């Protein structure tokens, strides 16, 4: 596909999703950035904002195999990765794939499952494979995890560990719709679910081509230096106990490539990194307890670092 075709396909997907997910244009764009960058997304907000609808609309727009895992305390790791069952007729064990074996996996309310179950996603998200009884099984391509968690519920939840959070390229919050948007949502859902009317607007081959194009987006040397400075500042900041890892900084670069592609460029601008830094870096930070008690937040720390770190003069 040439640049014009890429832009047209991306715009079709964006409009298709926004036709059923009202008032969440920023979240839609972040989801698409992660998609073309081969990353995973964590959506956090209050219940009923549209987190699940957003993931479902993406899957329908791309005609991807879709699996929804409703995380609860009784979900087992084998429910996700799969398991071996003895077949007496064949006299051998047969592998039964788990819910992770899909192109797009919605991990709904991921913080309601035990840490052991949460950790079963680690290998899948990092290496795009699962290992069961010593045998590795590759996941289908493309592969993406969209996880949701409710920000206000604490009872019966298990906070995601740092290793799990570090696997998510982007963490985003949805917003409440405006009064006009809310009325539009009510009217849209007066009959059957609008998701049922969504049509496929991008093929798997087109998506894989987009992902390949994102890999080849040009990043100038000063921008790598800028990202490294941001990461190092998070580790030196007096309010931060745990800063951004090299993996987290690399994901910021990859996301910046994805944003450049979505905007029709074959090169990354400093603005791409500056815009995405709060979404790609903030969830990787752990503040000192006294800083949290004083009212500090990880987003405020990232914004402060961005203000104090000069943008590269050339890109």
Domain holding 63, by residue range, is 3-73+104-113+142-211
191 with 250, same domain? no
108 with 194, same domain? yes
169 with 43, same domain? yes
160 with 297, same domain? no
The pLDDT of 159-182, averaged and rounded, is 90
Q: Which of 280, 54, 35, 30 is nearest to 169 (CA)?
A: 280
Pairing of strands 286-287, 240-242: antiparallel
Which pair of structure tokens corresponds to residue 247?
């993996």
Minimum mean pLDDT among 2-6, 203-207, 236-240, 279-283: which range? 2-6
220 with 179, same domain? no
Domain's final residue, options 194, 211, 228: 211
Which pair of structure tokens corresponds to residue 273?
């990194």
58 with 182, same domain? yes
201 with 228, same domain? no
- The separation between the first and the last C-alpha atoms of the chain, rounded to the nearest angstrom, is 26
Nearest-angstrom CA–CA distance, 142 and 204: 8
* Residue 59 domain-assigned (yes or no): yes
How many residues belong to the chain? Answer: 315
Sequence-separated (6 or more) residues with CB below 8 Å from residue 122: 163, 164, 167
pLDDT digits (tens, 9 = 90+) for 60-88: 999 889 999 999 999 999 999 999 998 88
Q: How many CB atoms lie within 10 A of CB 292?
A: 14
Q: Please tell me the predicted confidence (pLDDT) of residue 125.
A: 94
Minimum mean pLDDT among 125-134, 147-156, 268-277: which range? 147-156
Q: Which of 244, 252, 250 is nearest to 272 (CA)?
A: 252
**Among residues of the chain, what percentage have pLDDT more than 90?**
61
- Helix, strand, coil percentages in the chain from 3-state DSSP, rounded to 5: 50, 15, 35
267 with 177, same domain? no
Nearest-angstrom CA–CA distance, 274 and 49: 27
CA R_g for the chain: 20
* Residue 134 domain-assigned (yes or no): no
* Residue 78 domain-assigned (yes or no): no
Domain's final residue, options 185, 211, 237: 211
| Domain harbouring 291, CATH code | 1.10.8.80
| Domain harbouring 108, CATH code | 3.40.50.300
62 with 161, same domain? yes
In this predicted structure, the answer to whether residue 231 has a pLDDT above a threshold of 90 is: yes
In this predicted structure, the answer to whether residue 155 has a pLDDT above a threshold of 90 is: no
51 with 176, same domain? yes
Q: Please tell me the predicted confidence (pLDDT) of residue 314.
A: 57
Reported as a pLDDT band with limits 50, 70 and 90, residue 245 is: very high
* Residue 257 domain-assigned (yes or no): yes
Which 3 state secondary structure label does DSSP give 268?
A: coil
DSSP state of 267: B
In this predicted structure, the answer to whether residue 129 has a pLDDT above a threshold of 90 is: yes
**Among residues of the chain, what percentage have pLDDT more than 70?**
97
Domain count of the fold of the chain: 2
Which pair of structure tokens corresponds to residue 87?
């077949």
* Residue 282 domain-assigned (yes or no): yes
- Phi first, then psi: what are they for 128, rounded to 5°? 55, 45
The pLDDT of 226-234, averaged and rounded, is 97
Q: Please tell me the predicted confidence (pLDDT) of residue 1.
A: 61
Domain's final residue, options 211, 227, 242: 211
Residue 176, by phi and psi: left (phi above 0), alpha (psi -120 to 50) or beta? Answer: beta
The pLDDT of 107-117, averaged and rounded, is 90
Which 3 state secondary structure label does DSSP give 136?
A: strand
């Amino acid at each position: 596909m040439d640049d014009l075709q890429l832009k047209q396909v991306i715009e079709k997907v964006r409009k298709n999703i926004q036709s059923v997910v009202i008032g969440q244009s920023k979240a839609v764009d972040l989801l698409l950035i992660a998609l073309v960058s081969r990353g995973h997304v964590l959506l956090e907000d209050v219940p009923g904002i549209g987190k699940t609808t957003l993931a479902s609309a993406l899957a329908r727009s791309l005609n991807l195999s879709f699996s929804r895992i409703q995380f609860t305390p009784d979900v087992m790791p084998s429910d996700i990765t799969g398991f071996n069952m003895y077949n007496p007729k064949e006299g051998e064990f047969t592998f039964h794939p788990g819910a992770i074996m899909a192109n797009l996996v919605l991990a709904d309310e991921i913080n309601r499952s035990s840490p052991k179950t949460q950790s079963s996603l680690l290998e899948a998200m990092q290496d795009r494979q699962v290992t069961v009884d010593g045998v590795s099984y590759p996941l289908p391509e493309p592969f993406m995890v969209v996880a949701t968690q409710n920000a206000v519920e604490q009872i019966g939840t298990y906070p995601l560990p740092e290793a799990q959070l570090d696997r998510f390229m982007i963490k985003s919050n949805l917003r409440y719709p405006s009064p006009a948007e809310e009325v539009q949502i009510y009217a849209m859902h007066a009959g059957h679910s609008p998701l049922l009317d969504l049509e496929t607007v991008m093929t798997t081959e087109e998506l894989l081509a987009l992902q390949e194009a994102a890999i080849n987006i040009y990043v100038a040397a000063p921008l790598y230096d800028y990202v490294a400075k941001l990461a190092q500042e998070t580790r030196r900041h007096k309010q931060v106990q745990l800063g951004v890892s090299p993996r987290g900084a690399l994901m910021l670069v990859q996301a910046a490539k994805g944003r450049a592609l979505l905007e029709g460029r074959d090169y990354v601008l400093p603005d791409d990194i500056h815009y995405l830094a709060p979404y790609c870096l903030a969830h990787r930070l752990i503040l000192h307890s006294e800083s949290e008690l004083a009212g500090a937040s990880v987003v405020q720390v990232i914004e402060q670092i961005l203000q104090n770190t000069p943008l590269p003069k050339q890109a």
